[in-house]
Amino acid sequence: MIVKPSVAWLVGASSGIGQALAFALAEVGWKVAISARRIEPLQAMQARNPLLTPYPLDVTDVQSLHQAAAAITRELGDIELCVLNAGDYTPMPLADFDLTLFRKLCDVNYLGVVNGLDAILPLMLTRGRGQILLTASIAGYRGLPKSAPYSASKAAVISLAESLHLELKAKGVLLRVVNPGFVRSPLTDKNAFKMPFLMEVEGAAQAIMRDLPRQNFEIAFPKRFAYLMKALRILPYWLYFKLTKGTV
């Protein structure tokens, strides 16, 4: 889909996978617009690589996304790759059921992606080309105990991508979903349990980079963990709950 480095817009670039991917893209010649709420980490990234240009915004404010998209197009050129990666995570056992947390994670993880699409789709559809990556999670494959707000928000992103993929492909725009497993970051540092197949952010970024030229709908990693979780999706509920009750 993408044959040579051009202009990329990475939303959610200040840490974790987003930051590592921004540097990986810049290292091979991409001009990368980097967005997050706070300007300071974005400026620190730009100091390390001048191909990174900060455009701070809040994904819950759709107008700030539209303004950033217009500014990037004006200053850097047409956006050929857009990665909507902003996300948040907080574990939530039943004893800590919190409506505010549900709303917060929905606003950032799901509606933040919808806001990003509202900003980028008109630009790509007008040109009839472009690639969009939506960062969801392997945690969105099935509901996981103690992770209701996060799993639900990421499942929504997966369903959103599935729903839009064919319509956008017919218009020349490739919409794909990125489903990471456990990747070491400030968010996964909140987990108190041993995380299987834990990856470093650099490995996650390289997994995405390897798949950029391809047409496959999903980019999932690490592969073994993704296959395991996909297998759980086909199990009947009674067996799935039996296998996962030990996590409660």
Does residue 182 belong to any structural domain of this protein?
Answer: yes
Residue 202 to residues 30, 193, 233: CA-CA distances in angstroms? 17, 22, 28
Per-residue burial over 39-56, b if 16 or more Cβ lie within 10 Å, else e, is eebbeebbeeeebbbbbb
What pLDDT does residue 160 have?
99
What pLDDT does residue 191 have?
62
What pLDDT does residue 198 have?
72
Does residue 1 belong to any structural domain of this protein?
Answer: no
User: What is the tally of structural domains in the chain?
Assistant: 1
What pLDDT does residue 151 have?
94
Catalytic residue among 55, 89, 141, 150: 150
Does residue 91 belong to any structural domain of this protein?
Answer: yes
Tokens read off for 94:
């039943």
Does residue 61 belong to any structural domain of this protein?
Answer: yes
Residue 133 CB contacts under 8 Å (≥ 6 apart), including other chains: 81, 82, 83, 84, 85, 176, 177, 178, 208, 219
Q: What is d(CA 5, CA 30) in angstroms, rounded to the nearest whole number?
A: 5
Does residue 2 belong to any structural domain of this protein?
Answer: no
Supply the CATH number for residue 101's domain.
3.40.50.720
Task: Compute the CA torsion angle 135, 35, 150, 173 (nearest 10 deg).
Answer: -30
Residue 126 CB contacts under 8 Å (≥ 6 apart), including other chains: none
- Amino acid found at 209: M
Does residue 198 belong to any structural domain of this protein?
Answer: yes
What pLDDT does residue 186 have?
65
Boundaries of domain holding 180: 7-247
Q: What is the pLDDT along the chain (248 residues), one digit of tens a residue?
A: 555 789 999 999 999 999 999 999 999 999 999 999 999 999 999 999 999 999 999 999 999 999 999 999 999 999 999 999 999 988 889 999 999 999 999 999 999 999 999 999 999 999 999 999 999 999 899 988 888 999 999 999 999 999 999 999 999 999 999 999 877 766 665 666 565 567 788 999 999 999 999 999 999 999 988 898 898 889 999 998 888 886 66
Does residue 44 belong to any structural domain of this protein?
Answer: yes
Asked if 237 is an active-site residue, the reply is no
CA 26 to chain centre: 18
CA 140 to chain centre: 12
Does residue 220 belong to any structural domain of this protein?
Answer: yes
What pLDDT does residue 145 have?
86
